[in-house]
Amino acid sequence: MPVNIAYETKIEHISILDEHGNFDASMGEGLIPNDDLVAMYKHMMTCRHLDEIAFKLQRSGRMGTYPENRGQEVPSLAAAYVLEKKDWLVTCYRENAGLFWRGLPMEKVLLHWMGDERGNHIDECNVTPLAIAIGSQMLHATGLAWSSKYKKDGAIACTFFGDGATSEGDFHEAANFAANLDLPVVFVCQNNGWAISTPTKLECSAPTVAQRGIAYGMDCVQVDGNDMFAMVKVVRDAVKNARENNRPTFIEALTYRLGDHTTADDASRYRNVEELEMWEKRDPMIRLRKYLEKLGLWSQEQEDEHLKVAAQTVSEVVKRAEGIDAPSATEFFDSMYTDMPKQLKLQRQTMRTSSLGQDPSQIPVQIPATEGTVQ
């Protein structure tokens, strides 16, 4: 019998504005209005300043471990720009730019890293709390998309994760459900080259991480994740596919974290200087600023002026985060159950684990003291 090709495919790489300032007008013209571009650049400046201040808060002992977002602002911001209010933004922990554009108060993120549970109480917009467990958020996004399809409310879910998360079982389960059940979800893999200290080449031997989506029958694309125009285009296409066809899309966004994995990390121990310098030249903010300057939409005077605005904004955010009233001890119990068990109600009322021992079977056997033993 002849040998036939069972399946063939290709994965496109999308780039519109590269690090050298080359702009593909055939793809990017009219994609983002100039006023929106300026607003997005200002927003990124503010997010960068928050990163700087958050780093100082951690180093001065005023906040716990913090993951810098510097260098990875574009993917989540592009998604937040494209999504509608009814859609869900389901993130991990390096998507501040998208979360804040979406409407999440900036102090919520600081409170989260300060260990205050109120940082996870989100009522302002359709975003989920930061997901620290690697990969779990992809399952949440798939569930939200499934719910939207069931309710026929027209909403979709867009979730973010790193290259390392595609090695987690959670990714494969979420992708399998999303594709097999035709769910309106967009998977955005932010491939920054490192899963903490493990390089992507050890996580995935394939030429692209996007290929992992093909196995589940998803549409897949690779994109320059530091290119605002390209990210907006691919997310817009994926959102359209989700909304109109109830089909998931896997987007591999090539980007880079310019800082350490978190403030508990030292990337210089596993990352060489040449690599960092190369990616610093691809900084998404520098790229976008050069483009705006070329169009006469930005100047050094505007840069200096907005730096002052960003500093003032972040200063007020820190004051709100640090000035919040101390939580009551009972709040420890309040977010655990819809209907709290009576044992926990008793603990909350008395602030004692007095429910223990009320069951006779829990009372330890009393052994009489004997000479030479300690009772």
From first CA to last CA, the distance across the chain in angstroms is 85
How many Å is the Cα radius of gyration of the chain? 24
What number of helices (H) and strands (E) belong to the chain?
15, 8
For residue 82, give the DSSP letter: H
Q: Are 63 and 57 in contact (CB under 8 A)?
A: yes
- Strand, helix or coil for residue 292: helix
Counting Cα atoms < 13 Å in the Cβ hemisphere of 275 gives: 15
Q: Are 190 and 256 in contact (CB under 8 A)?
A: no
Q: For residue 259, which of 29, 93, 38 has the smallest C-alpha distance?
A: 93
**Is 118 tagged catalytic?**
no
Q: Quickly list DSSP for 8-29.
A: -----EE-SB-TT--B-HHHHT
The whole-angstrom separation of Cα 50 and Cα 44 is: 10
**Is 261 tagged catalytic?**
yes
Residues 43, 212, 257, 271: which is the catalytic one?
A: 257
- Count Cβ neighbours within 10 Å for each residue of 174-207 and write b for 16 or more, e otherwise: bbebbbeeebbbbbbbbbbbbbeeeebeebbeee
Q: State the angle between helix axes of 34-59 and 73-82 in degrees (0 to 180), rounded to the nearest 10.
A: 130
Residues 20, 59, 270, 337: which is the catalytic one?
A: 270
In the chain, how long is the greatest CA-to-CA distance? 93
**Is 291 tagged catalytic?**
no
Residues 43, 140, 261, 282: which is the catalytic one?
A: 261
Residues with catalytic function? 257, 261, 270
